[in-house]
Amino acid sequence: MSSPLEDVSVGMEEEDQRPLNRALLHRSATTNASQVAMVGSNPCPIESLDYDYWTAFWVFAGCNLALLLLASSITAFLSPAAGGSGIPEVKAYLNGVDAPNIFSLRTLAVKVVGNIAAVSSSLHVGKAGPMVHTGACIAAIFGQGGSRKYGLTCRWLRYFKNDRDRRDLVTIGAGAGVAAAFRAPVGGVLFALESLSSWWRSALIWRSFFTTAVVAVVLRLFIELCGTGRCGMFGRGGLIMYDVSTVFDDLMTYHLKDIPTVILIGVTGALLGGLYNFLMIKVLRLYNAINERGGAHKLLLAATVSIVTSCCVFGLPWLAPCRPCPTTGPLSSPDGTCHALNRFRRFHCPKGHYNDLASLFLNINDDAIRNLYSTGTNDVYHPVSMVIFFVASYALGVLSYGVVAPSGLFVPIILTGATYGRLVAMLLGGRSGLDHGLVAILGSASFLGGTLRMTVSVCVIILELTNNLLLLPLVMLVLLISKTVADSFNSSIYDLILRLKGLPHLDGHAEPYMRQLAVGDVVAGPLRSFGGVEKVGNVVHTLRTTGHHAFPVVDEPPFSPAPVLYGLVLRAHLLVLLKKREFLVAPERCPKEYVAERFQAEDFDKRGSGKQDTIADVVLSPEEMEMYVDLHPFTNTSPYTVVETMSLAKALVLFREVGLRHLLVVPKACDRSPVVGILTRHDFMPEHILELHPVLLRSRWKRLRWQRGAMAKYFRSLIVWVANSG
Amino acid sequence: MSSPLEDVSVGMEEEDQRPLNRALLHRSATTNASQVAMVGSNPCPIESLDYDYWTAFWVFAGCNLALLLLASSITAFLSPAAGGSGIPEVKAYLNGVDAPNIFSLRTLAVKVVGNIAAVSSSLHVGKAGPMVHTGACIAAIFGQGGSRKYGLTCRWLRYFKNDRDRRDLVTIGAGAGVAAAFRAPVGGVLFALESLSSWWRSALIWRSFFTTAVVAVVLRLFIELCGTGRCGMFGRGGLIMYDVSTVFDDLMTYHLKDIPTVILIGVTGALLGGLYNFLMIKVLRLYNAINERGGAHKLLLAATVSIVTSCCVFGLPWLAPCRPCPTTGPLSSPDGTCHALNRFRRFHCPKGHYNDLASLFLNINDDAIRNLYSTGTNDVYHPVSMVIFFVASYALGVLSYGVVAPSGLFVPIILTGATYGRLVAMLLGGRSGLDHGLVAILGSASFLGGTLRMTVSVCVIILELTNNLLLLPLVMLVLLISKTVADSFNSSIYDLILRLKGLPHLDGHAEPYMRQLAVGDVVAGPLRSFGGVEKVGNVVHTLRTTGHHAFPVVDEPPFSPAPVLYGLVLRAHLLVLLKKREFLVAPERCPKEYVAERFQAEDFDKRGSGKQDTIADVVLSPEEMEMYVDLHPFTNTSPYTVVETMSLAKALVLFREVGLRHLLVVPKACDRSPVVGILTRHDFMPEHILELHPVLLRSRWKRLRWQRGAMAKYFRSLIVWVANSG
């Protein structure tokens, strides 16, 4: 195992024969990064085994550990919101959940640097999710008018300072992130619309399209400018990342008799995907329990995972025997060695031999996927190696995501799926006439469908990744089978993570028990409201003692003959009023000119994510507390209302479809207060409703028990129980 | 011009050398149909000019006339709803407009037969729109539980008998139609969602995806089964209709310096597209005026258009000179003649020569498009021929659509755009390095963007039509430029046709003047309501004397202490009650068991499109008219309501986003009737509002005048004026 080996050259492209330098064997940090991430670098990716393996391993593991600790520390101490992939947070934001700090400039910086470091550290994570978050960050910073704190602001951006434009910008920013990650512009649009966005509009579609078109054009531009190798590794590769349209195109055919194979792949992909989601959530709960104990624990966990990963990556290839390089056929080289291609890693083998497991582990994810997708390579890998790689990839994928660092899920899932696809093809052997590369693509598709549960966007992304339109029917079929089967077990991984994080994502469809409830059954009191002209002290007291973001304004005599609901006023606007300190001595309504002189529309712009006004910033004198403020000009006089006897399911449809934050509840009879309650997102969440009406929970469990089969029911009840007890 | 010519063979494929029979020159009816339309036919497409041209012309024109008159007569007399493309009707249906008879079995039959006949008659129309309507018909027939009239019904289809499922089925049926027309499954999903559907849901996306996946799989299946020519022309061609990935792939490159060309193509495509829409609407108005006079006029118009088309198609090629067949290069044949390829039509030329204009006119649209898209054919066509063909194609496209027959817009627009693209490339000459076939694709894309204003779906359809992923950035760029520029002139052709037909399509965005109005300003009276227990005679009288589809139910004493709004009852349900004749002698509420014994849920299922209950079917005796009916169990107790002071714009958002048909208006103060009005779609239409408040119209014109530039404003005001005066 320690025979002296000569220099071997490992080039990035088949024709890349650079002069060699002597250096250590290492999974070079430069080649781990995506090809477009390194500007101007000229790597010398070589392996030389002058030193023994242990030293090589320590250097390897040491570099990985250092990089991951860098990623973890900046995430843990600078911006915890940058951890994970960011897609659940973006999805929640687009549903109306303003989680703090997810789009700040600091988060952006930590996300970019941290993800580069995390991926470079051989951790089994991807970059697609963090790129989505990065794109969304950039868009959100535009939407809030730049960053005043860092002096990057621009006047014309003020037109975007409203809820809807800001969410539109985040949607298209996320789409641009996917388009950039996969060089798939149409896939980016569809991903943003299918998986992230809660509301669609025609205008949003073509705006996303425009953004991803610009991404595609800029990519193409850079490819042309950097074509001659001027930019180092930046700009390498074409527009199609895993281009499988090679001279072996005729191997990409399929026939009617292959349909059962496709169905098999779809079903097993669904089972594996459902299990992946289940295990991922269990592991994330465990990691959360560890991470909650403090920064040191976070770093320790990251270090542990890094070491385990390094051991697997470096150690598992020892289990594979050395195999001779192919001497005939298109993969052979004239000199009998195959080491010029990065498909064949020599690792510890003698000259003219390669280690197939090392060829999978000691390659960057993109290259490994490209190798697995390639046609005409049925004999390159051994089934036992594939099993080992699959299990390791699956396990590392589940274990690595929860580390406190920016990490993505997509590419590891694609890689794991490709491995499992090839494995299925090998196990079927002659029974299936499909090329193993084709089955690898189908395996990726089915595993993506089984974990992420996306259909159209994954299909188009795979189409744009592989440039194989003829494969489309098979890919669609396998995606649908895997999604349908897996949906009977649990939800998609992003939805599960959303629920784990406690983000109150509101679905569009009403739960069955909501039809049995009226709005009045879930309204939680007491209701805090203001008069049309209110004493400042009351306003301050209410703002200090509650966390509500909106209050009904009720006009009482003498401003109106009988108590009547005037409208709804927002906390943010009340804070602006209080800060302006334009109070009235006596309780009376102020004329329009009074307001026009003292206030401007921009005073009430939606604040950026970093700068929220709070009641603690408001300091008033006792005299001012006794003065009055006229709320009439600042109240929304057309709030959406529902009658208290309205079905809760229908109120949810209204709340969700119109995209409300507050919904006023008015009484049915006229002899009571003109407003009896106010509904917010939390009033519609299952946890709140079932807490108020636990009898529904028991009937829901009963219903679950006899509606589903044993296995599926078990999984689902388990998730519900875990979610409720967590 | 009348030299005796020998037999020439014109095969459908390059290798198709069938033995010749002597026959007349004719644009053979079989080859006009799409390749998948003819099952089992074995055509002999040959040209032989034993007879002189006049006889040939008369036969040609005669066949065209006969086919078009067939199409027109069945459309005019059997099912007028089958005329045109059907896409505006489907779009309106999905917006909530139940136009009569658009989805009946008769319409389906007329649409299929009529479209085949119309396309076969050399009319410059396509098949994509009718296929969308066909797919939607089939889906709608499933949704209404089959057709009882013709005995095609199935019990499990009753689950689809509700509004939302029916509209979902129509959406996915339409998507399947596009997928089948272009062999573009993903494009079908996106077309249905971007252009047709008014409301999106994740579930709808993957259901559309599943449907188009099945389309793709079935297509692929038939291609395999029919591969060896067993099915005649059915199943010919591969999955990709205009596959341009030939051996000339290296000609499909583009560079940074081509961006100005692309922008030019986009802008001119927008101008041409906007003009096309404008002219189309003018012509449609004229045709409507003619067609309204009766069936004979419809047939006469169809005959006129057919003769004009025949003259153009047969006559215009005489303007082009004969050019020698290419003798070198990949397009040449060993024997020096190029007539084996249908790219080169001989027409009247001597042996070894071809007529390029005949090669465009006397080919089916699909072949012409394929020829125009092909690379490496820069010298095949002459600029003058292209100009003639472009003008003829443009003019015929505008003139042919309005004929009373099932006709589509898509493929003529693609063909016209491809011509204009090639023309631009020829005129630019050496200044642009782009291959003319590539520019033809961009021309099609820009013209589609300029007329139809679709972005993502057209992009994906073009991608799936041409299988060229590398072209994607250019196609996206050109689509966006053309859409953006053209949007400043007028709306998409489908929206203009919608407005022309008077279908009350409700957009999602509120007009600016709606913000100045309250709901109470547009409510039209008088309000017809029922008591909780109502006399049968009152119900019958109200149903007979109004056309409303829903009525509020107000509980008065003794059923409630004070008048209170109980809910909303639908006309359809009232008719069910009246037909059941389960009346009460005295005005009292009936217990639940009473209702459960006599009524079932299926009694209230949504009726199919053919069988609507009407009040005329209800015949009651005078004694029954004096009896009472308890409306409480049949009333929707959770209707959506708005306060009368609510902003009209916000009420529109509610109405549109939730997808309502009726919106109850309740008073602000408690001392009036508990319901003051009911809003329907028509109350939100600009025509109704501006009729009630003409002062807004003048300010809207004023606003229009100084907001837009001169030309754009002229077009827009013209359309508004024409629309208002039409």
CATH number of the domain encompassing residue A376: 1.10.3080.10
Q: Among A202, A239, A568, A636, pick the best mutation site for testing chain B contact (most B Cβ within 10 A).
A: A202
Q: Among A71, A442, A403, which residue's Cα sits nearest to residue A269?
A: A442
Regarding whether A581 and A450 lie in a shared domain, the answer is no
User: What is the number of other CB atoms lying within 10 angstroms of the CB of residue B447?
Assistant: 30
| Range 155-214 of B in CB contact (< 8 A) with A | 185-186, 189-190, 193-194, 200-202, 205-206, 209-210, 212-213
- The whole-angstrom separation of Cα B193 and Cα B171 is 8
Q: Among B30, B189, B364, which residue's Cα sits nearest to residue A460?
A: B189
Q: What is the mean pLDDT of chain A?
A: 81
Query: What is the reported pLDDT for A131?
Result: 95
Share of chain A above pLDDT 90, in %: 37
The model's pLDDT over A524-578, given as tens digits with 9 standing for 90+, comes to 778 899 998 989 999 999 999 988 899 999 988 888 888 889 999 999 899 988 8
Query: What is the reported pLDDT for A724?
Result: 55
Regarding whether A208 and A183 lie in a shared domain, the answer is yes
Chain B's closest residue to A243, CA to CA, is B469
Question: What's the gap between Cα B404 and its chain centre?
Answer: 15
Regarding whether A208 and A66 lie in a shared domain, the answer is yes
The least confident of A245-254, A581-590, B601-610 is A245-254
- The whole-angstrom separation of Cα B8 and Cα A287 is 78
Regarding whether A614 and A578 lie in a shared domain, the answer is yes
Shortest distance between the Cα of A247 and any Cα of chain B, in A, equals: 12
Name every residue whose Cβ is closer than 8 Å to that of residue A725 and which is 6 or more positions away in sequence: none
Name every residue whose Cβ is closer than 8 Å to that of residue B169 and which is 6 or more positions away in sequence: B139, B140, B142, B143, B160
Instruction: Please indicate, yes or no, if residue B241 is contained in any of the structural domains.
Output: no
Query: What is the reported pLDDT for B378?
Result: 81
Check CB contact under 8 Å for A212 and B476. Answer: yes
Query: What is the reported pLDDT for B163?
Result: 80
When divided into structural domains, chain A yields a total of 3
Regarding whether A520 and A488 lie in a shared domain, the answer is no
More confident residue, A182 or B429: A182
Chain A's closest residue to B637, CA to CA, is A646
Check CB contact under 8 Å for A476 and B213. Answer: yes
Query: What is the reported pLDDT for A106?
Result: 92
Chain A's closest residue to B239, CA to CA, is A470
Instruction: Please indicate, yes or no, if residue A210 is contained in any of the structural domains.
Output: yes
Contacts of B256 in chain A (CB under 8 A): 221, 224-225
Regarding whether A117 and A137 lie in a shared domain, the answer is yes
Instruction: Please indicate, yes or no, if residue A41 is contained in any of the structural domains.
Output: no
Shortest distance between the Cα of B210 and any Cα of chain A, in A, equals: 7
Whether B228 and chain A come into contact, CB under 8 Å, resolves to no
The model's pLDDT over A115-133, given as tens digits with 9 standing for 90+, comes to 999 999 999 999 999 999 9
pLDDT at A23 over 60: no
Query: What is the reported pLDDT for B343?
Result: 72
Chain B's closest residue to A641, CA to CA, is B642
Check CB contact under 8 Å for B476 and A213. Answer: yes
Strand partners, A568: A552, A636
Contacts of A469 in chain B (CB under 8 A): 239-240, 463-464, 467
Q: Among B669, B564, B664, which residue's Cα sits nearest to residue A566?
A: B669
Q: Report the predicted TM-score, pTM, of the whole model to 2 decimal places.
A: 0.82
Whether A645 and chain B come into contact, CB under 8 Å, resolves to yes
pLDDT at A472 over 90: no
Quick one: DSSP state of residue A268?
Answer: H
The least confident of A413-417, A471-475, A704-708, B311-315 is A704-708
Check CB contact under 8 Å for B647 and A638. Answer: yes
Share of chain A above pLDDT 70, in %: 80
B167 CB-side CA count, 13 A: 19
Whether B657 and chain A come into contact, CB under 8 Å, resolves to yes
- The whole-angstrom separation of Cα B490 and Cα B495 is 10
- In the predicted model, residues of chain B with pLDDT beneath 70 are 1-51, 146-160, 227-230, 232-241, 243-252, 329-334, 336, 340-342, 608-611, 697-726
Nearest to A637 among B220, B645, B670 (CB): B645
Nearest to A209 among B476, B645, B653 (CB): B476
Averaged pLDDT, A77-102: 91
| Range 330-359 of B in CB contact (< 8 A) with A | none
Nearest to A217 among B216, B477, B641 (CB): B477
Q: Among B455, B459, B559, pick the best mutation site for testing chain A contact (most A Cβ within 10 A).
A: B455
Regarding whether A331 and A389 lie in a shared domain, the answer is yes
CATH number at residue B518: 3.10.580.10
Shortest distance between the Cα of B258 and any Cα of chain A, in A, equals: 11
pLDDT at A137 over 90: yes
Secondary structure (DSSP) of B168-230: HHHHHHHHHHHHHHHT-HHHHHHHIIIII-SS--HHHHHHHHHHHHHHHHHHHHHHHHTTTST
Query: What is the reported pLDDT for B652?
Result: 92
Is the Cα dihedral A605, A609, A610, A611 positive or negative?
positive
In which element (H, E) is residue A479 found? helix A472-486
Instruction: Please indicate, yes or no, if residue A28 is contained in any of the structural domains.
Output: no
- The whole-angstrom separation of Cα A421 and Cα A434 is 11
Residue B66 Cα distances to A640, B76, B120, B242, B524, angstroms: 60, 15, 10, 30, 51
Instruction: Please indicate, yes or no, if residue A404 is contained in any of the structural domains.
Output: yes
Regarding whether B533 and B453 lie in a shared domain, the answer is no
Cβ atoms of B503 and B92 within 8 Å: the answer is yes
The model's pLDDT over A657-707, given as tens digits with 9 standing for 90+, comes to 888 999 999 988 777 788 999 999 988 988 888 888 888 766 666 656 555
Nearest to A255 among B190, B205, B224 (CB): B224
Q: Among A252, A703, A209, A660, which residue's Cα sits nearest to residue A435?
A: A252
The model's pLDDT over A482-537, given as tens digits with 9 standing for 90+, comes to 999 999 999 999 999 999 998 888 887 788 888 889 998 888 778 899 998 989 99
Instruction: Please indicate, yes or no, if residue A724 is contained in any of the structural domains.
Output: no
Domain that holds residue B376: 256-501
Whether A472 and chain B come into contact, CB under 8 Å, resolves to yes
Nearest to A654 among B201, B210, B640 (CB): B640
Instruction: Please indicate, yes or no, if residue A177 is contained in any of the structural domains.
Output: yes
The least confident of A615-629, A702-716, B390-404 is A702-716
| Range 229-268 of B in CB contact (< 8 A) with A | 238-240, 255-256
Nearest to B638 among A472, A480, A646 (CB): A646
Nearest to B200 among A190, A200, A256 (CB): A200
- The whole-angstrom separation of Cα A546 and Cα A526 is 11
Regarding whether A434 and A541 lie in a shared domain, the answer is no
Query: Of A436, A468, A501, which residue constitutes the final position of a domain?
Result: A501
Whether B580 and chain A come into contact, CB under 8 Å, resolves to no
Contacts of B194 in chain A (CB under 8 A): 202, 205
Instruction: Please indicate, yes or no, if residue A712 is contained in any of the structural domains.
Output: no
Contacts of B217 in chain A (CB under 8 A): 473, 476-477
In which element (H, E) is residue A532 found? none
- The whole-angstrom separation of Cα A36 and Cα A226 is 11
The model's pLDDT over A322-366, given as tens digits with 9 standing for 90+, comes to 888 877 766 666 666 777 666 788 788 888 888 888 888 888 888
Regarding whether A449 and A569 lie in a shared domain, the answer is no
pLDDT at A105 over 60: yes
Nearest to B205 among A194, A217, A219 (CB): A194
Query: What is the reported pLDDT for A726?
Result: 40
Check CB contact under 8 Å for A216 and B564. Answer: no
Shortest distance between the Cα of B639 and any Cα of chain A, in A, equals: 8
Query: Of A469, A501, A533, which residue constitutes the final position of a domain?
Result: A501
- Which amino acid is residue A320, in one-letter code? A
Interhelix angle for A648-658 vs B648-658, to 10°? 110
Query: What is the reported pLDDT for A482?
Result: 94
Regarding whether A346 and A407 lie in a shared domain, the answer is yes
Query: What is the reported pLDDT for A404?
Result: 94
Per-residue b or e along A622-640, where b marks 16 or more CB atoms closer than 10 Å to that residue's CB: eeeeebbbbbbebbbebbb
Query: Of B206, B226, B246, which residue constitutes the final position of a domain?
Result: B226
Regarding whether A639 and A685 lie in a shared domain, the answer is yes
Predicted complex ipTM exceeds 0.85: no
Cβ atoms of A2 and A52 within 8 Å: the answer is yes
| Helical H segments across B581-685, by residue range | 592-598, 622-625, 648-658, 681-684
Torsion angle, CA of B216/B222/B227/B228, rounded to 10 degrees?
180
